[in-house]
Structure 1
Amino acid sequence: MSVEKNPVDVQTKHIDYDPFEHREIKKPNSDIRSLANLVKASLGSGILAIPLAFSNSGWGVGIIGTIVIGFICTHCVHIFVDVSRDVCRLERKPLLNYADTCQAAFANGPKRVRPFANAARIFAIFSLLFTYIGVCCIFTVLIADSLKQLLDRYIPDAILPVEYYCLIFLVPLCVITQIRHLKWLAPFSLLANVLLISTFAICLYYIFGDEIRYDDKRIVGDAARFPAFLSTVIFAMEGIGVVMPVENAMKKPQHFLGCPSVLAIAMTLITVLYTILGLFGYFRYGDVLRGSITLNLPMDDWPAICAKCFITLSIFFTYPLHFFVVIDIVTRFLEPRIPKRYENLTQIGTRMAIVIFCGGIAVALPMLEQIINIVGSLFYSILGLIIPGVIETVFRWENLGRYNWILWKNVLIVLFGLGCLLSGCMVTIQDIIELMNRKTE
């Protein structure tokens, strides 16, 4: 039988219980390592797709849109983590993951929504699972695309379809995904960041290598392609599924929110880098941009060859970080059902099975641009925009601020997320149908 909570009691609990003091983390991360993991979660293959997003929106709309979406995504992460901490204080728990936060927010919300608490948790779990399976598929295709372009150029006698390269890379991916702790993933994240920044620098070298013309570039793009811009930028910006594992594993979680904070520094850096590469990448290559700007680089210069190698390795080292979200969900489901003596064997087998499953999807649909758009519009809109807006509204229903500004603000966020979801999916489905028709002609 549920008991109506008294606001005074709630405030007292907030004062009496500090979840940070009760966290027992086996291998806590420093602020620098947490920053590296957070930046790597958002600063992945998406940054190299940003120039293509600018070609869809036009450079003027692209600049404004990237900054606005960066602010919205940062705000959604902030409110979700803030709600998670408040729920921890209420329920006297040291930490909660993404799905548990959704459940607890509904369980401590208005009386009418409390019966939906378990449904909210299940919905959040499946949203996380499908989102990061999609991300792993994208990474598989991007690695395969980059490798194929290199080998096709230098080993012309052994040209293979991209699907074969997806299959070849399943072996090393199965090996690297056996790493089981975020602390051990941090060095790989740092290395991946170095490789990605090096790739970014090489892209800028080619972008600024010749005179840049912008007079023939559109300030405002075709309105029908704007949903594709939104989908790509949301995919590139969002890393909310990794946020709770990163925050929960911090040695000093107090430093995650605030100003300056790990979150603020990470998202500011990401937004600036995205805007620079998106703007000047579009100025250089215009409307012939591909799903990753590295695929537009020349094949005969050694810096370009290095960039293609670096991005392949960077995405390879990033894969386990996003894979961590998937395996965490699957492990929570399997762990109570597996005898302890089979735990290690089950872990190895499950990790390999997930990698092979994602590889199978990549083989069936090796369309990099379209998979990025579908994951961004459908999954990340739900995970990074709609769910945080709903969760904060439900949890703070009794105190929505002056003039209910929290309610109206979150209504706008949810409507924005729904708009991105519907329009992005429609445009992407049209693109996939068009591509399939071309192949059958």
Structure 2
Amino acid sequence: MFFKNHDTFIASDSTIPLLCQSSACSPKRQIAAPVTRDENFKPISNCETMLHLLKGNIGTGLFAMPGAFKNAGLWTGSVLTIITAYICTHCMHMLVTSAAILKKRKGHEVSVSYADVAEIAFQTGSQQFVKHAKLARVLVNLFICVTQLGFCCVYLVFASTNLKQVVDYYAPHLQWDVREFMCLVTIPLIFLNWLRDLKLLAPVSLLANILQSISIVIVFYYIARDGLPPTDSIPAFNNWIGVSLFFGTVVFSFEGIGLILPIQKDMRHPRDFEGWNGILNVAMVLVTCLALAMGFYGCLKYGAEIQGSITLNLPQNEILARLVKVFMVLAIFGSYAMQFYVPIQILWPVLEKKIETFNKHPLASELMFRTLLVLLTLCLAAAIPKIDLYISLVGAMTGSLLALIFPPILEIVTCWPGVSKMAIVKNFLIVIFGLTGFISGTYASIKKILSATM
């Protein structure tokens, strides 16, 4: 199974971007090294690649899209969803081509992760960039960790809120606060995240994929049932604060850029990944259509009553609706464990090296560290128990950096000084778009969070 923002990538002999016009980035100079793999390596087919991409970009953010459309406005949300999806997909292509250039520039077989791309780009670029190589790697890893732990916080809020609705129906006298449900959900999460081998998590992840897919179908059934109100029942544009909140949610929904490199690495035919009709574009078109449909029709169906997750709007008195909430709670366990694995693989080796002189029980120390990290996500989730606001905050504050800001910067650094003026302008506009969303989305989310907690 695959997971976001981790693993390594062996670049294919992919097309070099047009912005690279120097001899360092010239296709004539880029002779692909033969790809050598471990003898136990089992490449994945194009179909499996597509499924992994879809799974990596479809999650809790999808169920928050109707609320995002309500914030921005029905037609404003539709247009901005398409624009943001296009830019995010383009940035994914930039990361892939940058990785391919850097792998060839090294002159031998090399595996590169997102952080490796950042470091090698600065190391092998122009002299003025070399001194910033280590900082680039640290920043990428830092935001990967923050983003992944942010996903875990969102999952915890999502699971607890849906579980509360189900329990409130069957035991209305209990009257537990959502934070108490968070503590309850955290207990099995602690033991689940003691598993140190991804192979043991594979069945959990498979079950999560099945339950989530069933839940999406059922949600669309409820949206379509009994018809939809006219489109003029929802304003086309809401307000700029709403647009800022929308930005964070939609970036959260498309923030699968960390999944791209590990997937292409393990493909049987890596060349099929790119191109206008390649697997990446086809998968992202499907993800965009699904997010667009969920946001548009979900917002149209429930209007001003839409909650942070559309699953919370499903009728309480129907068993099928309650099953969706139970399915999603169970699915969250697999998703949480897979996302949690990423920061562990980045943070624990660093910490282990620092304490190795007095660390007499390495296994116990690692399990304690895992437990503390799970408890950290509990504390953060309990501080902001609002699904939509948490999703918007994580998407705007960290997702925009990884998905929209870093890739164009890395592409320019990789190909400098042979970058065309048009390419510089294009990448500069993408960075401005990402920074605008980062600043406005983070500000709007924090403002809403503060007003909701006071």
Question: 1:88 maps to what in 2?
Answer: 103
What is the CA–CA distance in structure 1 between the aligned matches of 2:416 and 2:266, rounded to whole Å?
29
Tell me, yes or no, if structure 1 residue 118 matches structure 2 residue 131.
no
Is the alpha carbon distance of 1:247 and 1:333 closer, same or farther for their aligned partners in structure 2, counting shifts above 3 Å? farther
Match of 2:82 among 67, 71, 91: 67
SS at match of 1:15: coil
SS at match of 2:64: helix
Question: 2:14 maps to what in 1?
Answer: none
1:298 is displaced (CA, Å) by 0.8
SS at match of 1:158: coil
Give the letter for the 2:254 counterpart: M
Contact kept, 8 Å, 1:33 with 1:186, in 2: the verdict is no
**Superposed CA offset, 1:307-351 (max 9, x none):** 111221222221122112211211342454548995544443332
Question: 2:345 maps to what in 1?
Answer: 328
Contact kept, 8 Å, 1:13 with 1:89, in 2: the verdict is no
Tell me, yes or no, if structure 1 residue 395 matches structure 2 residue 395.
no
Greater mean alpha carbon deviation, residues 188-197 or residues 361-370: 188-197
Is the alpha carbon distance of 1:259 and 1:349 closer, same or farther for their aligned partners in structure 2, counting shifts above 3 Å? farther
Is the alpha carbon distance of 1:280 and 1:96 closer, same or farther for their aligned partners in structure 2, counting shifts above 3 Å? same
1:93 is displaced (CA, Å) by 4.1
What is the CA–CA distance in structure 2 between the aligned matches of 1:374 and 1:307, rounded to whole Å?
25
Tell me, yes or no, if structure 1 residue 419 matches structure 2 residue 410.
no
**Superposed CA offset, 1:251-297 (max 9, x none):** 55444333544422321221111011111101110022111000011
1:157 is displaced (CA, Å) by 2.4
Match of 1:168 among 178, 181, 184: 184
Tell me, yes or no, if structure 1 residue 35 matches structure 2 residue 50.
yes
Greater mean alpha carbon deviation, residues 153-162 or residues 34-43: 34-43
Contact kept, 8 Å, 1:241 with 1:325, in 2: the verdict is no
1:230 is displaced (CA, Å) by 0.9
Tell me, yes or no, if structure 1 residue 157 matches structure 2 residue 176.
no
What is the aligned-residue RMSD (CA, Å)? 2.4
What is the CA–CA distance in structure 2 between the aligned matches of 1:431 and 1:47, rounded to whole Å?
21
Contact kept, 8 Å, 1:104 with 1:117, in 2: the verdict is yes
Question: 1:272 maps to what in 2?
Answer: 289
Contact kept, 8 Å, 2:25 with 2:101, in 1: the verdict is no
What is the CA–CA distance in structure 2 between the aligned matches of 1:250 and 1:352, rounded to whole Å?
34
Is the alpha carbon distance of 1:188 and 1:424 closer, same or farther for their aligned partners in structure 2, counting shifts above 3 Å? same
Question: 1:49 maps to what in 2?
Answer: 64
Is the alpha carbon distance of 1:377 and 1:342 closer, same or farther for their aligned partners in structure 2, counting shifts above 3 Å? same
Is the alpha carbon distance of 1:249 and 1:278 closer, same or farther for their aligned partners in structure 2, counting shifts above 3 Å? same
Is the alpha carbon distance of 1:29 and 1:350 closer, same or farther for their aligned partners in structure 2, counting shifts above 3 Å? farther
1:68 is displaced (CA, Å) by 1.3
Contact kept, 8 Å, 2:384 with 2:449, in 1: the verdict is no
Is the alpha carbon distance of 1:252 and 1:11 closer, same or farther for their aligned partners in structure 2, counting shifts above 3 Å? closer
Question: 1:286 maps to what in 2?
Answer: 303
Alignment of 1:292-441 (within 5 A): 292-334=309-351, 336-337=353-354, 338=356, 342-401=361-420, 404-437=421-454
Greater helix percent: which structure?
Answer: 1
1:436 is displaced (CA, Å) by 2.2
Question: 2:212 maps to what in 1?
Answer: 196
Contact kept, 8 Å, 1:40 with 1:318, in 2: the verdict is no
Question: 1:177 maps to what in 2?
Answer: 193
SS at match of 2:237: coil
Contact kept, 8 Å, 2:159 with 2:329, in 1: the verdict is yes
Q: Structure 2 length as normaliser, TM-score? A: 0.87
Greater mean alpha carbon deviation, residues 133-142 or residues 26-35: 26-35
Is the alpha carbon distance of 1:219 and 1:347 closer, same or farther for their aligned partners in structure 2, counting shifts above 3 Å? same
SS at match of 2:275: coil
Aligned residues with identical type, % of pairs: 32
Give the letter for the 1:382 counterpart: L
Match of 1:22 among 28, 33, 36: 36
Question: 2:152 maps to what in 1?
Answer: 136
Is the alpha carbon distance of 1:431 and 1:25 closer, same or farther for their aligned partners in structure 2, counting shifts above 3 Å? farther
What is the CA–CA distance in structure 2 between the aligned matches of 1:25 and 1:66, rounded to whole Å?
43
SS at match of 1:294: helix
Contact kept, 8 Å, 2:149 with 2:343, in 1: the verdict is yes
Contact kept, 8 Å, 1:87 with 1:105, in 2: the verdict is yes
Give the letter for the 2:165 counterpart: Q
SS at match of 1:95: coil
What is the CA–CA distance in structure 2 between the aligned matches of 1:8 and 1:299, rounded to whole Å?
61
Alignment of 1:221-300 (within 5 A): 221-300=238-317
Unaligned runs of 5+ in 1: 1-5
Is the alpha carbon distance of 1:243 and 1:348 closer, same or farther for their aligned partners in structure 2, counting shifts above 3 Å? farther
What is the CA–CA distance in structure 2 between the aligned matches of 1:26 and 1:330, rounded to whole Å?
27
1:35 is displaced (CA, Å) by 3.4
What is the CA–CA distance in structure 2 between the aligned matches of 1:134 and 1:96, rounded to whole Å?
24
Is the alpha carbon distance of 1:429 and 1:174 closer, same or farther for their aligned partners in structure 2, counting shifts above 3 Å? same
Question: 1:3 maps to what in 2?
Answer: none
**Superposed CA offset, 1:200-258 (max 9, x none):** 22111111111311231112222331111111101111122333333344455444333
SS at match of 2:66: helix
Unaligned runs of 5+ in 2: 1-21
Q: Structure 1 length as normaliser, TM-score? A: 0.90
Give the letter for the 2:263 counterpart: V
For these two proteins, the number of residue pairs brought into alignment is 428
Contact kept, 8 Å, 2:24 with 2:105, in 1: the verdict is no
Contact kept, 8 Å, 1:73 with 1:385, in 2: the verdict is yes
